[in-house]
Structure 1
């Protein structure tokens, strides 16, 4: 038997590693990003940017270091920002970015439903970029490997 709650409210949860969209509606999407070994500072290989939309990140629990890079065609200087739980971080359209997360991290992502590989180029990181990311992560207390 379906209760009234089931008709009025959908409940979604994603607890596995990595990224998963959980709600798509009328042009927007909510996704969950959880810890994944690929997101450890020493394992990051590339940054991405979204050419047609901003992207919003909200830390629910754990720790997330948001990494951004200036530059247009390639990643330039890399910057790091520790996300604070409950605050809304809007990465503007065209900004190179990635993340590193603690094992207990959960990040909510809000983006356009048509955000995908076709409008979100990736830029491979140089060895210098990779070293800088590991340094920034250590400076912010991300020492887990």
Structure 2
């Protein structure tokens, strides 16, 4: 197949990896990685310049939201359903826990970096809330 006509790519490792960048957008894949286990989460991040779309392709994946204020606010959790699009709006604090069996497709702006995506450390109380919510949505 002519690579000028069709680009075929995939990923079967752990963690996050961009797969295709084009013009202003990026498609990436996120899979299990130890640092995102619910009891190891350390912070939430927000993207100041873009929304971020998550699509669960297979497995189990929990998304945590922390509001869109200057700092992390009320924390909510949702267990993603396969093949539905979840659009985390620009400026919304979020983090996630992909399980070992999960594959998640991510679509975001190609220029999404740590420079325009500030992180805020989770407090001990926020970590406890996240663990409690995780148990509730995964029971």
Q: Mark yes or no: TM-score above 0.5.
A: yes
In the alignment, which of 48, 58, 76 is matched to residue 51 of structure 1? Answer: 48
Map of 1:69 onto structure 2: 66
Alignment size in residue pairs: 139
Q: Distance in 1 between matches of 2:136 and 2:108?
A: 29
In the alignment, which of 1, 14, 18 is matched to residue 17 of structure 1? Answer: 14
Q: Distance in 1 between matches of 2:83 and 2:138?
A: 20
Q: Distance in 1 between matches of 2:96 and 2:13?
A: 17
| Stretches of 4+ aligned residues off by more than 3 angstroms | none
Map of 2:81 onto structure 1: 84
Q: What is the RMSD of the two structures over their aligned residues, measured on CA atoms?
A: 1.2
Q: Runs of 5+ in structure 1 lacking a partner?
A: none
Map of 1:110 onto structure 2: 107
SS at match of 2:7: coil
Q: CA deviation at 1:70?
A: 1.4
Give 1 or 2 for the bigger CA radius of gyration.
1
